[in-house]
Amino acid sequence: MAALCVVMVSGCSTITQSDTQVVALTSVYEGNPVQASCTLTNDKGSWAALTPANVYVRKSNEDLDVVCKRGGVPDGLLKAVSRAAGSMWGNIIFGGGIGAIVDHSRGNGYDYPNQLPVKMGESSVVDKKVSTEQAQAAAAAQQPAGATKVTTASSPQPVAPAAQVK
């Protein structure tokens, strides 16, 4: 009974996911890797790192802002979009409102993109959702011309007439 009460008042993501995430932070200037001093910030805290680095950050429903600096080079700015994790959606559908509220406030139900590539002298946005869609589009574009298109079982397929038996 006590376990049931704990599950009912805590969110699914709180149980299945950590409130921290490791992000890979890199920086480049004019196409070449450079070492830069970066600050990553969201409403849960602020973290400092020297690129390249793997940085532990607290998850949040708020985006993660990254500012990188290096002497003699323009600053690099990046915004990592926070997206609801799959466990958050499962919690909303199956667990009801209380668990979703808990996971939302703790940040456990959200994720950032794993790779944060800062381009010095530029301001960019990194979004897991857009990255997935771009990867799918790139894969489709790389299909050679004249290649056979693969269809799914649900697609209508032409059927050859059966040979008549005499």
pLDDT of residue 53: 98
Q: Token pair 């574009």 is at which residue? A: 141
- Residue count (the chain): 166
pLDDT of residue 14: 45
Q: Is the pLDDT at 105 greater than 90, yes or no?
A: no
Side chain identity, residue 138 = A
Q: Is the pLDDT at 159 greater than 70, yes or no?
A: no
pLDDT tens track for 57-103: 999 999 999 999 999 999 999 999 999 876 555 555 555 665 555 55
pTM of the complete model? 0.64
Each domain of the chain, given as residue ranges in start order, spans 10-125
Q: Is the pLDDT at 161 greater than 50, yes or no?
A: no
Nearest to residue 17, comparing CAs of 80, 66, 65, 89? 89
Nearest to residue 108, comparing CAs of 63, 64, 59, 65? 59
Beta strands in 34-148 (DSSP E): 37-42, 45-50, 53-58, 64-70, 73-80, 83-84, 110-111, 115-119, 123-126
50 alpha carbon, distance to own chain's centre: 22
CB of 80 closer than 8 Å to CB of 71: no
State mean pLDDT over 113-135: 87
